Amino acid sequence: MLRTACLISMIGMSSVTLAADTDNVTKFSAILKEHAQLPAATFVLPPDSASSYFNYSGRFTGPDSHRVEQPYAISDDQTGLSRPFPGQPLQGFSGIRVIDRDHYLVLTDNGFGTKSNSADALLMFHKVKVDWESGRVMPQETTFLTDPNRKVPFPIIDETSPERYLTGADFDLESIQPVTDGYWIGDEFGPWLIHVDKQGVVQDVIATEIKGVQYASPDNAFKSLSNPGTKAPELMSMRSGGYEGMAISADGKTLYPLLEKPIYDAKTGQPENINGTPVLRLLSFDVDSKTWQDTVRFYPLNESHHAIGDFNMIDEHRALIIERDGGSGDPREGWSKKTAQFKRIYLVDLNDTDDNGVLRKIAYIDLMDIQDPDAIAPRGTMDGTFTFPFVTIEDVDRIDENHIIVANDNNFPFSVGREQGHADDNEMIILNVADFLKAK
């Protein structure tokens, strides 16, 4: 499951570029334009029709995920926050779509990070308004996911209630795409594609099977798999390696689910690679017929331990993909034992692949090297350079021809990347990346 470009006196100034990678991918500059944040301890009430059980959350976040009912009895030495909490944490955001510059569709992650500790975390998405002048993020509408028509093919936590609210022990929601009749959501546990109507009621839950080959994670409800190394037809190399990002075509007819991590190759005993390059599988799904297409593309990772964070199209063929390492904390500050090093957004073209179907990385921006000459960010800027040093950066989308929105999933209450001893807020930033968005 986890801050934007000031115009320097010249609007439309040229981006600085340099060939930073061994494969000569061009780096473009990013300039901080806006910054806002939602405080870490932001909660929403469960629906009136939900069981009183959901009035508190975080009961299973202690040692070994054992139940703790007494509020605030589970202490946290890293952040000082104690659990269980009253209400449902609104964070962290694991997917985003732009409505307009001030309004966004955001998806709350599965709860507290695993199936075993998230049985009291309700699944939901939100429409939020951002007041960029004050730096505030304001939730306007929350939609909870339910399964009253019993479309989910396995037992869920809230199995016996009429509404059948979905929880983080049922699915791990990581990406969302609005369509005419509702939303498509990508899940990591199955990996599943989930179709819900505008009220969040499940319409379909679709397994992943292409050319007779089934894709299954160790967290799949119908599998009993070790992690990794079984002889299943396809297996994510680690738990929660399913659909971290999922883009949609400009015409709304095709979904592009992208795995977070390489699948495990039973033949080699290694994560999947092509000619020595670790790759992630990028699949295609027809929305109208609700069927998988045969086309499989591959996203090349810079390192096998990297993962992707989000994936959205910016036009008919080109897309933005976040690639990140597992570190957090600004290396300039020196307090983190495993600092953030690799936090990038790449530009790719789905029509630009090699003979093996591997995408070419066209260009990138570095989220650890953002220009903030006018000191817009309330924290995180040193000597005019702002960093986004979070372990999971899981939100990116295009706003217009010059700007993108970026946000972090703060894995509330566990991630500490911005300030030592403090749980991360959800930070949302607008970056001026005009030249980057024009790259081809």
Show the 3-state SS of 23-64.
CCCEECCCEEEEEEEECCCCEECCCCCCCHHHHEECCCCCHH
Those residues whose C-beta lies under 8 Å from the C-beta of residue 112, and which sit 6 or more positions away, are: 1, 58, 60, 61, 118, 121, 168, 414
C-alpha span between 328 and 420 (Å, rounded): 10
Taking residues 86-112, report their average pLDDT: 95
pLDDT the model gives residue 5: 28
Inform me whether the pLDDT recorded for 67 exceeds 60. yes
Inform me whether the pLDDT recorded for 149 exceeds 80. yes
The residue ranges of every structural domain in the chain are 18-438
Inform me whether the pLDDT recorded for 1 exceeds 50. no
pLDDT the model gives residue 7: 22
C-alpha span between 201 and 428 (Å, rounded): 28
Q: Which residue has the higher pLDDT, 384 or 242?
A: 384
C-alpha span between 393 and 346 (Å, rounded): 13
Pair 177, 258: CB distance under 8 Å:
no
The HSE-up count of residue 325 (CA atoms within 13 Å, CB side) is 17
Rg (CA), the chain: 21
Lowest mean pLDDT, pick from 23-27, 50-54, 306-310, 371-375: 23-27
Inform me whether the pLDDT recorded for 224 exceeds 70. no
Lowest mean pLDDT, pick from 63-77, 119-133, 178-192, 298-312: 63-77
CATH topology of domain 18-438: Tachylectin-2; Chain A (2.115.10)
Inform me whether the pLDDT recorded for 3 exceeds 50. no
Q: Phi and psi (nearest 5°) for 222? A: -100, 5
Inform me whether the pLDDT recorded for 183 exceeds 70. yes
Query: Which phi-psi region, left, alpha or beta, contains residue 206 (left: φ > 0; alpha: ψ -120 to 50)?
Result: beta
Joined together, the tokens standing for residue 266 give 């039973």
Inform me whether the pLDDT recorded for 228 exceeds 80. no
The overall average pLDDT reported for the chain is 91
Query: Which phi-psi region, left, alpha or beta, contains residue 383 (left: φ > 0; alpha: ψ -120 to 50)?
Result: left
Inform me whether the pLDDT recorded for 131 exceeds 90. yes
Taking residues 131-153, report their average pLDDT: 98
Joined together, the tokens standing for residue 9 give 């006196």
CA dihedral 233, 239, 245, 248 (to 10 degrees): 40
Pair 101, 113: CB distance under 8 Å:
no
Inform me whether the pLDDT recorded for 145 exceeds 70. yes
User: To which H or E segment does residue 212 belong?
Assistant: none
Taking residues 107-128, report their average pLDDT: 95
